[in-house]
């Protein structure tokens, strides 16, 4: 934590130097001593300290200053730093002003000039003030702070990005300014900058208003560009399957890079709880799994580029080229497609503009705390929806699961159904679907249709989380990679038609089990046609595919 500040303000240069000298001689080991030559300069310093979340322990101001006297300065300073101790320097003739200051500006102490010797006339009083301040001081949050509004799509996107990349941050909802003095003081200290939301405040004083994610990534130290232009193995997608392949590939000597569009962990990284993953009897969160896997991959030297998007591939002899969204290109001998899938969107008129403003796809872990005391609606009946319901039940007053089927039995693991049944504030509405949403700048209500009766209920709602299946995002592969009618990538035996190999196949053997129609390009995880949509199976495929790659590389190198 930065040292708490002692700020002295005086327009007389000699007096200012003298008081600064004495303060440093006594307190420099525990406090940062700063000075200002006018009340306005002092207030500007305090605004900057407020923005940086730097604590202020003591304000010591001279009364007789032009334009703004000491009493007025301390009164305004108190609005920004109400916990700081306030002391006034006065001449003998200013005794009445000092008394008024105690009454009007709630000054804690006044000191007479001159204060020599300081050991008798200055330090005892200040020691007492600072001792009181220390006894009640609570260290401020030192990390990244994000200012925004709960119902802003951009704010939600930014918070999810930081959370999924394991970056701690403090969320400050500016709509609380009317009821929270600390929030109001911070906004006042920022001035016009507080109007450009979301706004990120970094501990070093840097501010990023309305920041694009790549700019945030650069600032927090994420790698968004490749270190070189060639790798033995390039992996598109940093979910469990891609991370597993990276760990096994790099541990066996392959120079490996992962290109991840959002954040490592994939959809599994959004899961609030995974309880059936082997080796974790108490379960673990998706973020925990992602964090452990990323740490393991980096330990073996895997390079992770995120956020970065792959937008095209091409083949040239033994090389496979991956084109990235920033215009760069990297090449490799073996390319692995592990992009996973995206949540299917709910086809309801007007819902798109509410995404991130009450309507969310996926786990929404960053929203759980904000739902305290509310009713949360969850659409879906698979494990991901059940895990989210259990997570939100810890915060929300009530969680309502809207399930299109007659029950959860056909789509959800038995252990999860039992947990839901035992949770008093979770309700499961079967044969129910959302057919309308309401809200201009934020979600305010939903209409639920119950089948087969067709009865409709209009309900007030502020949070709707959607888990209605997934679809691959593979259009960027173009015509070079064979896919099924839904866009999932074909591999191995699924590529053979009447025993014939694909026209694009150039080797004198059939495509391997996890190999696409282009030799040297493999596919694993949820994006693969016919895959089992489970974390463990994705990890297994990622581990196995490396052996197939070694067999391929042995023939082409």
In angstroms, the CA 557 to CA 553 distance is 6
Helix axes 240-251, 286-299, angle to 10 degrees: 20
* pLDDT tens by residue, 478-487: 999 999 999 9
Q: Is 404 within 8 Å of 432 (Cβ atoms)?
A: yes
Q: Which residue has the tokens 């899961």?
A: 271
Q: Which two tokens stand for residue 269?
A: 């990284």
> Confidence band (pLDDT; 50, 70, 90) for 95?
low
Q: Is 399 within 8 Å of 427 (Cβ atoms)?
A: yes
Q: What residue segments make up the domains of the chain, in order of their start?
A: 5-136, 144-219, 230-342+473-556, 352-468
* pLDDT tens by residue, 30-78: 999 999 999 999 999 999 999 888 999 999 999 888 889 888 899 899 9
DSSP character at residue 405: S
In angstroms, the CA 258 to CA 244 distance is 11
One-letter-per-residue 3-state SS of 234-293: EEECCCHHHHHHHHHHHHCCCCEEEECCCCCCCHHHHCCCECCCCCCCCCECHHHHHHHH
Q: Identical fold at 5-136 and 352-468?
A: no
Entry pTM: 0.79
Q: In what order do the strands lie in the sheet with 432-438?
A: 432-438, 445-450, 455-460
Q: For 150-157, what is the mean pLDDT?
A: 91
Share of the chain above pLDDT 70, in %: 97
In angstroms, the CA 194 to CA 172 distance is 12
Give one DSSP letter per residue of 308-332, joined into a string: --EEEEEEETTEEEEEETTS-EEEE
Phi, psi of 464 (to 5 degrees): -130, 120
Task: Say what the pLDDT of residue 22 is.
Answer: 94
Task: Say what the pLDDT of residue 39 is.
Answer: 94
CA-to-CA dists, residue 78 to 86, 141, 181, 412, angstroms? 8, 20, 12, 57
pLDDT over threshold 70, residue 153: yes
Q: For 471-498, what is the mean pLDDT?
A: 94
Q: Which residue has the tokens 């959002």?
A: 262
CA-to-CA dists, residue 164 to 229, 259, 293, 356, angstroms? 27, 15, 13, 16
> Confidence band (pLDDT; 50, 70, 90) for 98?
low
> Confidence band (pLDDT; 50, 70, 90) for 96?
low
Q: Is 197 within 8 Å of 148 (Cβ atoms)?
A: yes
Task: Say what the pLDDT of residue 511 is.
Answer: 93
Task: Say what the pLDDT of residue 340 is.
Answer: 92
In angstroms, the CA 504 to CA 517 distance is 6
CA atoms within 13 A on the CB side of 470: 25
Q: Is 269 within 8 Å of 342 (Cβ atoms)?
A: no
Residues, the chain: 557
Q: Pick one of 1.10.150.120, 3.40.50.300, 3.50.50.60, 3.30.930.10 as the CATH number of 230-342+473-556.
A: 3.50.50.60
Q: Which two tokens stand for residue 35?
A: 């000075």
**If we measure between CA atoms, which residue out of 535, 524, 533 comes closest to residue 492?**
524
pLDDT over threshold 70, residue 94: no
pLDDT over threshold 90, residue 232: yes
Phi, psi of 188 (to 5 degrees): -60, -40
In angstroms, the CA 127 to CA 123 distance is 6
In angstroms, the CA 55 to CA 49 distance is 7
Q: For 334-355, what is the mean pLDDT?
A: 92
* pLDDT tens by residue, 284-329: 888 889 989 999 999 999 999 999 999 999 999 999 999 999 999 9
Q: For 276-282, what is the mean pLDDT?
A: 86
Exposed, middle or buried: residue 304 (CB in 10 Å: 0-12, 13-18, 19+)? Answer: buried
CATH superfamily of 144-219: Glutaredoxin (3.40.30.10)
Task: Say what the pLDDT of residue 348 is.
Answer: 92
Architecture of domain 5-136 in this structure: 3-Layer(aba) Sandwich (3.40)
Q: Which two tokens stand for residue 1?
A: 């934590």
The dihedral formed by the CA atoms of 192, 198, 202 and 208, expressed in degrees to the nearest 10: -70
Helix axes 181-190, 70-80, angle to 10 degrees: 120
Task: Say what the pLDDT of residue 93 is.
Answer: 61
> Confidence band (pLDDT; 50, 70, 90) for 280?
confident
Q: Which CATH class is domain 352-468?
A: alpha beta
* pLDDT tens by residue, 394-426: 999 999 999 999 999 988 999 999 999 999 999
The neighbour count for residue 554, using CB atoms within 10 Å, is 8
In angstroms, the CA 192 to CA 214 distance is 24
One-letter-per-residue 3-state SS of 80-124: HCCCCEEEEEECHHHHHHHHHHHHHCCCCEEEECCCCCHHHHCHH
Phi, psi of 439 (to 5 degrees): 140, 145
């Amino acid at each position: 934590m930065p040292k708490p500040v002692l700020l002295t303000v005086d327009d007389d240069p000699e007096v200012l130097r003298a008081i600064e000298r004495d303060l440093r001689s006594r307190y420099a080991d525990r406090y940062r001593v700063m000075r200002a030559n006018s009340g306005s300069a002092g207030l500007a310093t305090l605004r900057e300290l407020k923005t940086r979340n730097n604590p202020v322990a003591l304000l010591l101001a001279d009364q007789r200053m032009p334009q703004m006297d000491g009493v007025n300065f301390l009164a305004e300073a108190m609005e920004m730093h109400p916990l700081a101790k306030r002391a006034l320097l006065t001449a003998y003739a200013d005794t009445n002003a000092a008394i008024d200051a105690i009454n009007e500006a709630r000054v804690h102490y006044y000191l007479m000039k001159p204060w020599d010797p300081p050991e008798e006339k200055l330090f005892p009083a200040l020691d007492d003030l600072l001792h009181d301040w220390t006894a009640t001081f609570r260290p401020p949050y030192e990390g990244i702070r994000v200012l925004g509004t709960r119902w802003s799509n951009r704010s939600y996107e930014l918070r999810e990005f930081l959370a999924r990349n394991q970056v701690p941050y403090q969320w400050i909802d500016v709509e609380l300014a009317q009821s929270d003095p600390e929030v109001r003081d911070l906004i006042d200290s920022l001035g016009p900058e507080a109007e450009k939301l979301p706004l990120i405040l970094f501990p070093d004083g840097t501010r990023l208003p309305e920041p694009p994610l790549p700019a945030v990534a650069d600032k927090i130290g994420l790698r968004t560009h490749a270190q070189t232009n060639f790798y033995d193995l390039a992996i598109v997608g940093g979910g469990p399957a891609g991370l597993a392949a990276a760990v096994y590939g790099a541990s066996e000597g392959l120079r490996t890079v992962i290109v991840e569009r959002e954040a490592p962990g994939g959809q599994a990284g959004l899961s609030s709880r995974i309880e059936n993953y082997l080796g974790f009897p108490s379960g673990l969160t998706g973020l925990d799994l992602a964090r452990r896997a990323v740490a393991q991959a980096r330990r073996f030297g895997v390079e992770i580029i995120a956020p970065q998007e792959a937008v095209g591939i091409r083949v040239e002899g033994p090389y496979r080229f991956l084109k990235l969204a920033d215009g760069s290109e990297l090449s490799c001998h073996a390319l692995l497609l592990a992009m996973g899938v995206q949540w299917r969107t709910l086809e309801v008129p007007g819902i798109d503009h509410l995404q991130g403003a009450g309507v969310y796809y996926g786990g929404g872990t960053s929203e759980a705390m904000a739902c305290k005391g509310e009713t949360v609606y969850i659409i879906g009946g698979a494990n991901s929806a059940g895990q989210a319901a259990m997570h939100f039940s810890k915060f929300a007053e009530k969680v309502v699961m809207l399930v299109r089927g007659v029950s959860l039995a056909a789509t959800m693991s038995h252990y999860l159904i039992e947990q839901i049944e035992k949770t008093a504030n979770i309700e499961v509405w079967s044969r129910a679907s959302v057919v309308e949403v309401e809200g201009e700048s934020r979600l305010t209500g939903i209409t639920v249709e119950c089948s087969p009766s067709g009865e409709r209920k209009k309900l007030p709602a502020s949070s709707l989380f959607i888990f209605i299946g997934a679809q691959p995002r593979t259009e960027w592969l173009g015509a070079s990679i064979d896919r099924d009618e839904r866009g999932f990538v074909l591999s191995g035996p699924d590529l053979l038609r009447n025993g014939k190999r694909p026209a694009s196949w150039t080797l004198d053997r059939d495509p391997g089990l996890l190999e696409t129609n282009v030799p040297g390009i493999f596919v694993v995880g949820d994006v693969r046609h016919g895959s089992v949509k489970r974390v463990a199976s994705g990890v297994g495929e990622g581990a196995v595919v490396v052996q197939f790659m070694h067999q391929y590389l042995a023939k082409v190198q």
